[in-house]
Structure 1
Amino acid sequence: MLTSSATIPHLIAASFHALSDPLRISVLELLRQQELCVCDLCEALGVSQSKLSFHLKTLKEAGLVNSRQEGRWIYYRLNLPQFSVLELYLADFSHNSVISSAHPCCD
């Protein structure tokens, strides 16, 4: 999924953007339990399909969910490897237990 170091910041930023909306978080919470079709997600969340489609597109572009089509239905599921990328990214911050002070600036 991650093909170059230039791609990594883009995917991480897109993932955090996708995680910044309460409705998208609700979608992810539902998908933690099982793969669901759009109609089931709409019903569970009480939103229209057009509104949900916008949010699902954002989640897909961020790599947080995958979809598959079966007949006329589209099913969504979590893309767990992308969550691992985010987890490792955040874990790196805790490994930097000592942050150096700034060097004197412009004397």
Structure 2
Amino acid sequence: MKDSVPLSGYYYPNKMGRILLMSLEEVMGRNGLNALLNLVDLRQLINELPPDNLEKEFDFAHISNINRGLEEIYGPRGARGLALRGGRAIFSRGLRQ
């Protein structure tokens, strides 16, 4: 994506990034998630999710770019619906872990 948000230097725990990506995969499917990660130049996350630990290494910019990519692919209304469904999946996964 040409107008991606630059890395901020502020980080979420890896576990939160992992739960986000797993939840989006649950909502969008594997191919949809791969297309999204390719679009936002996060190809390194396609084959290897962030580790399941609390180390703060998942940059805030990654989440901004993922949300931006959702809007670019699905439009504002579709992205909002997917983000809501993904948020519900994140919440339920977060409670289980």
TM-score (normalizing by structure 1):
0.30
Q: Which has the larger radius of gyration?
A: 1
* Greater share of residues in strand: 1
**Greater relative contact order (CA < 8 Å, ≥ 6 in sequence):** 2
